[in-house]
Chain A
């Protein structure tokens, strides 16, 4: 064995040999790699550390560049790390930081090695350990090595100190409790005279502040000093980033920093710093008119540069400019529009976004025309970008910028005819949405739908199928606006429709049914009206009134058609399907009676018979379809035709005769027509709120009582269910059910679980549970989301999202103005309700956050900004902190006691950052659990304990201690 080891040492290929061999290999790369891997596997087992380290180095190389697996070599990396020779140690560390992750089992073994190297007198060894820790630090490592990092943070060797500063970021992220130990020293480094340490520290704070800005407000004076004093652009950029986060939180701070930032902007020659200044101003300091003016001037310089980078960044900066400074965009309109045809896709996208930002009620028509034309010429990807942003801009806030819906509907039609269009789904939903919301647009909508449906070429494009589905639905639903229902029906049953997917085919068939019913009903009621006009014929009283009702409803519509009819007929392709018109056009002119206006639509006996025959022929083959939806609908239509043909022979004999049985048919058709002409409309999400709560229904009651009733109901553990759980409980009145519970319990168990099941399956149709913040607050279980410890309001991600939303909603004040076109919104409140809801939730949140984090610090900040440099020496404050600490310790113990739900207490009090860390903590915990599966009960408990501690430690006071 020893002999082979020496042989290997002597004849081992070095990394360089490997690389050379790789370049000269003739056997193919993968074969060469597997051969080399074989070799490495043999060599790495060597007892000689040198041989081992070279093998490991080769393996690291193969892993890094050729994705060879090296997870199996983790232990060998640890062995190399513990070598006393620097070269071998370094190879080991590089291998470790390259390949180790949270679930690497040997991580547990390296704690002591890292500790030893961190405290090594050789600064290079310490730096290796620091670099490795920065990369692979886990919760356990971070916890165990915090003291060493703390020592290094004030090391006299700058080289080590700056690295340890860099490591603190990983440390805090993994083990938030380290903040209490290291924060003060980290802050001290902000005053460091060494530029590298300062730069590293500012870098760390920049990352930290990005995650949770409010916590770092108290440090604003330090940052301000750096902003004013520093000459180092790297540092300045980071400080600007920090201020970009802090300034929106504290208006006085914004006021203070705006001047120095402008000064930098004027003075600096570095584009990167200038860009950062510009971005900070337009993004966070947009209140300051003069600063924004300066920034926009700089943006303009960027835009006029030839450098595509600067151009891109200039456009990007413009896109951050808030809507109230839209003038900045308008000022650079030409450049923006010219950039639409830039060769760089990124620049095109940015400028597209800007063009959409410039869109207003007055310019939308023009801009859309330009863009749609442009989309025709551009490559498929960008074409769809254009269409997508047009669609989303126009539909924003219920089509608020669309004035002329006839125009918009035809634009939708035009878009779907764009060759590369892949936005079928979006166009589909908008066609239907406009149909439901905007009554006035329906005639045009049906016209557009018709032109889409009768074009057989469109059926071949799978991207358009969704659009066709919408067109089919529209033409069926609003068939009364159609100039020629027969033509529509014909289009819907054309042979090429078989190219459609089944689900859309089903929509087609349903529309055919609607058109059929409408046509027959129109025909019948027209003959009836005719009959009414005849003096001798009397229908029964009821029918009479109904018929005239119907007629009067139809009348205005028909008279509209009167005007539009003639051109419509002329336009129509006369060869194919206008059988029904024969003889009707001729006698139409000059007559004004209602009867004739009906006749104009072509509802003659022959035409109806024709239609029925045609549809029947088309449906026959479909009645054997394998798809149930199609089969069923086809059969329905066939059945209806059957009935009509059987019941109406007399009708077809003579239009003038009305008999008893025909009236039955009339009744039937009328019923169906009534059913179909029932208006469909959008329903507000708040609709449920307006339903009065019946007496005796107690909605706000704790659900604890329900546990007894529900005791034996096994709740499904899925998330969506637990999210909804308050709901079914709410529906069951706990107070009253208490009384009946004894006898009802079994039945109610069943029904509630059924209801729950139904809710789970059809969650879509239930109202969103966040509808009312107060309700969900009253139901603690409702807040047990996924992990059971984050609440809706406190989830940091939610917080981030909400703040983002609230930023957006600030932009909306001008949306309140009334629309010129009557948009039939089902609920006018809907528009208002959405932002309102967000605001209240946001207030709740930020209020809670502010209470904890800024309570005293905000005061302190204001005073310190006014001149004091030192923030943290106030005795009162430190007392406050002591109190805080005590408080947290207290809470700790109480939360320990209730182990089941340890975090309930902190809800609403912990800062978002804490929660974020807590979350990560838990993520880490889960992972570490899975890593030492072998039942390391002890460490698990330890981790749990630490996570308890973490939750209760507020961030700010730590450096004040």
Chain B
């Protein structure tokens, strides 16, 4: 299974973290520190797998972002590479040629997309179209609520004037 997903920028800034196995905050910090050191220092022509404390980290760089997923020793590395690519394609479709800034400012949306893609560390949806549809549906739910919210707050603010 996938133990965690990390998005790290080339400068070592963390852009997204998602933990499927229990890690305490202290452990999380340690993992991020160790892995970003390990992965960012690797040259461009090396393989995309790093053995790390009995687990394997599969990473792939897209533009300035490193997508890392940590898996068990006997999981299929190529499959995980495909999952990463899958995730990137969905992000790309959602944001329209995604870039790092999209993920920075829409941190929570990237999170929701990941939630549709993986559950309990396993791939749950292999269709890009479906994920896009689901996200859009939830977005419209949120939008509806927001409209309602804003109207209420305008009412309140008018009332208190």
Contact = CB atoms under 8 A, between A and B. Distances in A.
Co-complex (A, B): yes
A124 B138 CA distance: 7
B156 to A, nearest CB: 6
A234 B120 contact: no
B17 A64 contact: yes
Interface in A831-854: none
B107 A10 contact: no
A169 B124 CA distance: 13
Contact of B145 (A64, A88, A237): A88
Interface string B84-127: 00000000000000000000110110011001000110111111
B132 interface: no
A274 B33 CA distance: 34
Contact of A308 (B22, B47, B104, B149): B47
B122 A200 contact: yes
A347 B108 CA distance: 37
Contact of A346 (B51, B105, B125): B51
A272 B126 contact: no
A167 B13 CA distance: 31
B122 A166 contact: yes
Contacts of A130: 119
Nearest to B126: A234
A61 B160 contact: no
Interface string A293-333: 00000000000000011011100000000000000000000
Interface string A221-236: 0000000000010100
Given A65-B15, A94-B108, A234-B126, A134 B79 contact: no
Contacts of A271: 78
A262 B74 CA distance: 20
Contacts of B134: 159
B153 A9 contact: yes
Contacts of B156: 6, 9
A64 B15 CA distance: 9
Interface string A117-158: 000000010000011001100000000000000000000000
Contact of B138 (A15, A61, A86, A135): A86
Interface centre among B14, B29, B50, B74 (most CB of A within 10 A): B74
Contact of A64 (B16, B126, B142): B16
Interface residues of A, number: 66
Contacts of B48: 308-309
A204 interface: yes
Contact of B46 (A3, A20, A86, A344): A344
Contacts of A134: 119-120
A6 B160 contact: yes
B128 to A, nearest CB: 13
B107 A15 contact: yes
B51 A309 contact: no
A864 B31 CA distance: 47
B141 A87 contact: yes
* Chain B interface bracket (under 10, 10 to 19, 20 to 34, 35 or more): 35 or more
Contact of A169 (B78, B107, B111, B122): B122
B1 A207 contact: yes
Contact of A344 (B47, B119, B145, B153): B47
B107 A131 contact: no
A272 B79 contact: yes
B124 A162 contact: yes
B96 to A, nearest CB: 18
Contacts of B123: 199, 203, 234
A163 B29 CA distance: 29
A204 B121 CA distance: 10
Contacts of B146: 87
Contacts of A347: 47
A50 B157 CA distance: 15
A760 interface: no
A843 B79 CA distance: 36
Nearest to A57: B108
Interface in A193-224: 195-196, 199-200, 203-204, 207, 210
B13 to A, nearest CB: 8
Interface string A59-71: 0110011110100
**What 10 A-B pairs come out closest when comparing CB atoms?**
A272-B78, A166-B119, A308-B47, A203-B122, A134-B120, A344-B46, A87-B142, A312-B47, A86-B141, A85-B145
7 contacts: A10-B153, A19-B104, A19-B107, A101-B22, A200-B119, A275-B76, A312-B47
Interface of A: 3, 6, 9-10, 15-16, 19-20, 23, 50, 57, 60-61, 64-67, 69, 85-88, 90-91, 94, 101-102, 124, 130-131, 134-135, 159, 162-163, 166-167, 169-170, 195-196, 199-200, 203-204, 207, 210, 232, 234, 237, 241, 271-272, 275-276, 279, 308-309, 311-313, 343-344, 346-347, 349
Interface of B: 1, 13-17, 20, 22, 24-25, 28-29, 43, 45-51, 72, 74, 76-79, 81-82, 104-105, 107-108, 111-112, 115, 119-120, 122-127, 130, 134, 137-138, 141-142, 145-146, 148-149, 153, 156-157, 160
